[in-house]
A and B are shown apart, each in its own frame.
Chain A
Amino acid sequence: MADYTLETAEDRVEALRRMVTIREFDTKAGHYFADGEIPGFVHLYIGEEAVGVGTCAALEPDDYITSTHRGHGHCIAKGLDPELMMAELFGKADGYCNGKGGSMHIADIDSGMLGANGIVGAGPPLATGAALSISHQDRDQVALAFLGDGATAQGQVHEAINQASTWDLPAIFVVENNQYGEATPVEDQHNVDQLSDIAQAYDIPGVTVDGMDITAVNEAVQEARKRARDGDGPTLIEAETYRYHGHYEGDEQNYRSDEELQQWKDRDAIDAFRSRLIDRGELTEEEFEEMEAEVEETIADAVEFARDADLPHPQEAYDDMFGESVPEIEKFANRARTDGGDSR
């Protein structure tokens, strides 16, 4: 069984907790990025939590996902540890990638997380490849690619879907349509009415679901997973959602109105799911507040862990290029050891 599903009240509360965790993680990531404590750049998942959590709740723990530049939510939904994630964002040696990846490259193969990805549209071919491994070794898994609306314009995405469908591979493609590819509205980048329409070109099911409704997302992915495991090939799911922050932190967002943002916030996925659980008697307001407090503490602990963790030793820059190292890199590493890297 998955770590969590949406089948029991307990599962649903756990799913809500993950959504709240994502929002809190990314709120703090944005905060410490603005402070200058997190280097580079970050893309926040706030607003889209129902897609990541609804999807991963339909997967088994050893299923694979590929992610995007906006990957923190996928990581938490898939069960990665916020401490090690935050440490990675802070560029610390204890982070998931020992500080070599940062926000856009968090990966944990053991958790089935094949990497956030800084290249729009690069994940689907990797997911098709993971599905090929699964098929080749006859394993009971699926590989799922998260991709954005913008990525559906990329050629390699179509190549990946075509191969997965031609070979009936156990793959799933989840398009997170958050209405903007970077700063350009989705309708200015695509000619189809719905991005799920592109599934027709590959003769696979293409469905559009409300990405603010975790149940709708979850049901669609469950069905897609069953189809994939039955040997019937991939499904393309478009989840309509919205990012509350800019494409990246610091984005001026002059391409959208406050009214539009508010309309989506009025349909907030966390609010909606929380209300539903309260209405059904599966959660009380007090319990939710308690959950929020616990999550805040978890993320505060993650920040503290990240802050206290050691920076990588500069010499580690020479590690991990290859499984079997090469004399070229050994030579550069040795020079750096002896002269501090001043002359190469």
Chain B
Amino acid sequence: MTAQAELDGQETETMTVREAIRQGLREELERDEDVFIMGEDVGAFGGVLEVTGNLYEEFGGEQVRDTPIAEAGYVGAAVGAAATGTRPVAELMFSDFMGVSMEQIMNQMAKMRYMFGGKTEMPVTIRATEGGGMGAASQHSGTVHTWIAHFPGLKAVAPGTAASAKGLTKAAIRSDDPVFVFENKMIYEQKGEVPTDEDYITPIGEASVEREGADVTVVATQRLVGESLSVAEDLSGDVSVEVIDAQSLYPLDTETIVESLQKTGRMVVADESPVSYGTHAEIIARTQEEAFFSLDAPIQRVGTPDTHMPFSTPLEQEVLPDGEGVQNAIEKIV
């Protein structure tokens, strides 16, 4: 579905991605008392990147719970809680900390339903910030969503707009499956139109066509959605660029992407994760499986060139994928 079509007829409000996520969290905390947030400094402090904000004041320490700095312990507790009747939303302050909790994610959260023959629900949401661009260096800037999208038994979403930031957060909390919401920290201040309907969700597994075009398809995620839209605007008149926000990494909306490629014949995949063995490759593999004969040019990848995120600004800018990279990729194949 196109982004505009989705918003047509909806009452909306302009807000930042950060506010949109917080509004989604607030609505779900209000709607269902079994929903609770847990994480490091998410409570009284309001979250180190201020996403939870004043939710602690609104809902109290039981529903917005500060945890010790122990990612394995509290992610594990979220798994145990989800298996026993509540709906935890655990925050990983930086996705780089996911390694600390990986055992509980990969061997418990992802596998319990399957190993137990379907006898448990696992309604757990993990929110994790990703992305370089603020000089936070290698241990606070990673983009790791490919690990989760790759791992069977987990669902992964990565919003690129304020509307989907709210809609995907709510969909994740309402899901009976483990869903990771990967929030790029550089777009927390990005504004957009967000539906005010309390039951507005962005279905997991649906991509969004953010801009229609005829010459080339850019499948982008997170920060690179906005940057690709700017490139599309800059190139308009010369090249007609279609921009798709993948939104959901697993499950992935292959159909929407393939339909677009069948129309344009050319594609760029722009995602901040490292280029090798990753999200880009999966999107490309699926499109060539379904639409090989629609291709008019080799598909291009824009991502982090297999390095960690360095600290110093010129170094970070060197490896951080951006609109310029998207534009170069487009110009190479159009």
Binding site for B on A (CB under 8 A): 64, 66, 95-101, 105, 107-110, 114-115, 117-119, 122, 124-134, 136-137, 143, 155-156, 158-160, 162-163, 166, 319-324, 326-328
Contact = CB atoms under 8 A, between A and B. Distances in A.
B99 interface: no
A129 B177 contact: no
A118 B76 contact: no
A281 B176 CA distance: 53
B34 A159 contact: no
Identify the interface centre among B73, B86, B114: most chain A CB within 10 Å of its CB: B73
Interface residues on B, range: 35 or more
B83 A97 contact: no
Given A108-B119, A126-B108, A133 B68 contact: no
Contacts of A64: 84
A3 B155 CA distance: 39
Contacts of A130: 80-81, 83-84
14 contacts: A96-B119, A97-B115, A100-B114, A109-B116, A109-B119, A110-B119, A122-B104, A122-B107, A124-B76, A126-B80, A129-B78, A129-B81, A132-B86, A163-B74
B120 interface: yes
B73 A98 contact: no
A240 B208 CA distance: 59
Nearest to B114: A320
Contacts of A97: 115-117, 119
A229 to B, nearest CB: 16
Interface string B190-204: 000000000000001
Interface in B112-135: 112-122
B31 to A, nearest CB: 16
Closest 8 CB pairs of A and B: A129-B80, A125-B76, A159-B73, A126-B80, A320-B118, A98-B117, A323-B176, A129-B77
B103 A122 contact: yes
Given A129-B79, A130-B83, A137-B34, A324 B177 contact: yes
B84 A133 contact: yes
Contact of B70 (A131, A162, A328): A162
Interface string B68-111: 10101111111111111110100000000000000110011000
Interface in B242-283: 250-252, 254
Contacts of A166: 68
B253 to A, nearest CB: 9
Given A133-B81, A322-B155, A323-B177, A160 B76 contact: yes
B117 A100 contact: yes
A322 to B, nearest CB: 5
B107 A320 contact: no
Contacts of A324: 175-177, 204
A320 B113 CA distance: 6
B182 interface: no
B36 A136 contact: yes
Contacts of B77: 125-126, 128-129, 132, 160, 163
Nearest to A145: B80
B107 A119 contact: yes
